[in-house]
Amino acid sequence: MAAGEYPEEGEHVVATVQSLRNFGAFVTLDEYDGKEAFIHLSEVATGWVKYIRDYVHEGQKIVARVIHVDLEKGQVDLSLKRINDHQRREKLLEWKNEKRALKLLSQVAQLLGITIEEATSTIGDQMVEKYGSLYKAFEVASLDPKKFTKDAGKDPWVSQVSKVARESINPPHVAVSGILEVSHPASDGVLHVQRALLAAEAVAPESIAVQYVGAPRYRLTVSGIQYKSAEELLKKASDVALSAIKKSGGKGSFIHK
């Protein structure tokens, strides 16, 4: 819970543009109690910046990198040009998730009959210490309640956090796919192909789908909660299909997309 502190150099922060000058922009740090920070014109973008308003405007929400912190003066300098699009998206998602998590914690506080300040300083701090972020803690409580209960212990708030998490956070889903090429030279080759495809689906019927693309090509798609496990399932399903078609005298290959 970063409120009341100062960010560290190199950290990515979310800020709101308050005012613009010819020499730079004054912003407030959303995650640090609205503390003021400054972006010099030379740190707005690569190359020469003629008009700062071509890049930022008052009221805009931005993501920047902290390049200097002077605790004695209470001065924080930021850079917009030293952060890429991927880092910007990741930080915004993290920030939005933490805002959402604070609302969930507020629901927990209401269920327990305590203030949000009390919930933040006790429950929230414990969750952040254990999982690195408040949202991650709620995510674990939703996706793996047994692990969350084991980690958190028997405190009375654990069941309420789990309840709110299950009601509010849906498991994230990922999908991975590839093209399976299978064929068989026999007169009943179509049946052998069908059996190979059915064997692939049978690996995990609830997660695997086979879609006709155009003989001999079929799209094999696996959906799941975790990317790694979905990838492993995709490989297993394609291996099963290829083994089945080759064992029957046909041929095949798999191209990951």
Same domain, 115 and 146: yes
Q: Which of 50, 51, 23 is nearest to 39 (CA)?
A: 23
What would the mean pLDDT of 111-135 be, rounded to a whole number?
93
Same domain, 164 and 205: no
- Among 168, 183, 213, identify where a domain stops: 168
- Domain residues for the domain of 137 are 86-168
What would the mean pLDDT of 14-37 be, rounded to a whole number?
96
Is the CB of residue 185 less than 8 Å from the CB of residue 199? no
What would the mean pLDDT of 176-196 be, rounded to a whole number?
94
pTM value is 0.62
pLDDT category of residue 1 using cuts at 50, 70 and 90: very low
State yes or no: pLDDT of 205 exceeds 70.
yes
> What does the pLDDT read at residue 230?
87
**Residue 251 belongs to domain with CATH number:** 3.30.70.1130
> What does the pLDDT read at residue 3?
46
Domain count for the chain: 3
Q: Which of 56, 64, 57 is nearest to 31 (CA)?
A: 64
CA–CA separation, 7 and 210 (whole Å): 49
Residue 4 within a domain: no
Residues of the chain with pLDDT > 70, as a percent, come to: 97
- Among 119, 137, 168, identify where a domain stops: 168
> What does the pLDDT read at residue 153?
79
> What does the pLDDT read at residue 172?
64
> What does the pLDDT read at residue 152?
84
Residue 116 within a domain: yes
pLDDT in tens, 31-68: 999 999 999 999 999 999 999 999 999 999 999 999 99
Q: Which of 181, 166, 163, 168 is nearest to 217 (CA)?
A: 181
**Residue 52 belongs to domain with CATH number:** 2.40.50.140
State yes or no: pLDDT of 228 exceeds 90.
no
